[in-house]
Structure 1
């Protein structure tokens, strides 16, 4: 792929992710104009908005998978793996703000990938619990939901927080809470 075509594709995907997260009914023409390309350029690559959406989801899943791999969730010490995961996933969430739980039922392969990534994170949170990093009695699904919400808040409600500082806050909040002991 030519360098300018790659830049155009990246601009369309990133712009599409942002605009479709804000308004799922955003038109291809609007996405193209905001990305600085002709709408025909977008239509040559993506016949429909759904095809563009599927490409955005696939790109986010690729990025998320890399973050999970690089965090070494099964090998690294829990606090290290957790920090790596959070520090890596916050930029992914910011760049690709679409919620992958919105995957279209017509995309079973992408949905299967999303579920596999979710299972990997579930297994890691189970490890966090098994290794005693959570208070006794804290349900693992609750801890997972809290982790997801903390990451989402750090990524979107506090966009000026740099990923390392956001990861520090998320990890400390998950593992230690916000109250005094």
Structure 2
């Protein structure tokens, strides 16, 4: 709570007035991250847009979300069934998108969609946190190129 107060430029009492417990604060953080991720998924148009376009939109949008909310939402899932449901729905949307990329021939046939999804998640996480100086549009260019050409059909 002290670290949050410091980062926000307020005293700890102000944070406690808004959030009675550490868990309430964490829940608010996780919900904010889930809300932001939901907007990114919607705006990426994972079902309607061409695969490369949707992937770029997703990556360019989710990198700032990951940077703004650098928390692992899986931590909260045991305590908040609603947050867990939302996270699972978001994950299923990405799984379906990666399956679509495979079905449309954008991924090599010898690469399982589960592996491709794991690689995508790691590329996004690495770009968001290990390369914070790279702007989201350029980060998306690099992630999409690496994903589609590193795992892409030849």
Q: TM-score, normalised to structure 1's length?
A: 0.81
Residue 114 of structure 1, CA deviation:
0.5
Q: Which structure 1 residue ranges, 5 or more long, are not aligned?
A: 1-27
Q: Which structure 2 residue ranges, 5 or more long, are not aligned?
A: none
Question: Greater RCO between the two (CA within 8 Å, min separation 6)?
Answer: 2
Secondary structure at the aligned position of 2:107 is classed as: coil
- Aligned-partner Cα distance in 2 for 1:124–1:104: 23
Say which one has the larger Rg.
1
Residue 115 of structure 1, CA deviation:
0.6
- 2:9 aligns with 36
- 2:67 aligns with 94
Secondary structure at the aligned position of 1:81 is classed as: helix
Secondary structure at the aligned position of 2:62 is classed as: helix
Over residues 93-139 of structure 1, what are the superposed CA-to-partner deviations in whole Å (9 max), with x where a residue is unaligned? 00000011212412100111001000000000000100000011100
- Aligned-partner Cα distance in 2 for 1:132–1:155: 27
Work out whether 1:83 is the aligned partner of 2:40.
no
Work out whether 1:69 is the aligned partner of 2:21.
no
- 1:128 aligns with 101
Q: CA RMSD in A?
A: 1.3
Among 123, 129, 145, the alignment partner of 2:118 is 145
- 1:114 aligns with 87
Secondary structure at the aligned position of 1:112 is classed as: helix
Secondary structure at the aligned position of 1:128 is classed as: helix
Secondary structure at the aligned position of 1:132 is classed as: coil
